[in-house]
Amino acid sequence: MIVAEPSKIEEAKKVTTYDLSRNENGFLVELFKSKSGINTEAYLTCATIGAFKGYHLHRVRASRYVCIKGKMKIILYINGKREEHILSEDNPQRLFIPKNIPTGLLNIGDSDGWLINYPDPPYDPNLKDEQVDFTEEECESGAYLKKIELFDELDQNSVND
C-alpha cells in the first residue's frame, strides 16, 4: 500500500512595491521557497499599467524572467550600454540577466504585467546589501560602474580582515 503525504497549504508572502517617489507600482509574491523555508526560489513580480520598477542590480544572483501576463520592456545597462528586451505573454521567452547588471522593468501593455523570476542562487533575505538601487542618470552616465567597484573593494577588504 502506498502512503501519500497529506496535502498542506503554505503561506505565500505578498509585498506591495513602490517606485522612487513612493507611488505604488505593483506587488511581489513568493511562489516557491527552499526546503529550509528561508530562500525564495521563484517569485512573481507584478507591474501595474504604465508602471516602472528599478533600476537595481543584484550583486550575488542572476535573474531569469518569463512574462506570463501583459507586455514588459526590460531595460538593462551592460558595461555602460543600454539594452532593451520586450517580453510578453504572446511570445513566451526567458531572459537571463547576469549579476551586476542594472535592470529596470517598464509595463508597456494595456494590463498588469506579470513576470516570473527564478533567481540563481535563490533570494536570501539575510544578504542585506545584495540589491543596489540606481537612478536612470547613474545608469546612463555609467556612475553605477563605480558603485559596483566600491562594493567589490569592500567585499575584498572584509574577506582580508
pLDDT for position 2: 85
pLDDT for position 128: 85
pLDDT for position 16: 98
Query: What's the pLDDT tens digit per position in 128-153?
Result: 889 999 999 999 999 999 888 888 77
Q: Is the pTM of this model over 0.85?
A: yes
Residue 73 grid coordinates: 520592456
Distances from the Cα of 29 to the Cα of 16, 91, 136, 157, angstroms: 9, 23, 26, 35
What rounded mean pLDDT belongs to the chain? 93
| Residue in the block written with cell 527564478 | 118
pLDDT for position 46: 99
* Ordered domains of the chain (ranges, CATH): 14-160 (2.60.120.10)
Q: Residue 161 above 80 pLDDT?
A: no
Beta strands in 59-154 (DSSP E): 63-69, 71-78, 81-88, 94-97, 103-107, 113-117, 131-133
Q: Residue 71 above 80 pLDDT?
A: yes
Greater confidence (84 vs 34) lies with 84
- How many alpha carbons fall within 13 Å on the CB side of residue 3? 0
Mean pLDDT, to the nearest integer, of 116-122?
97
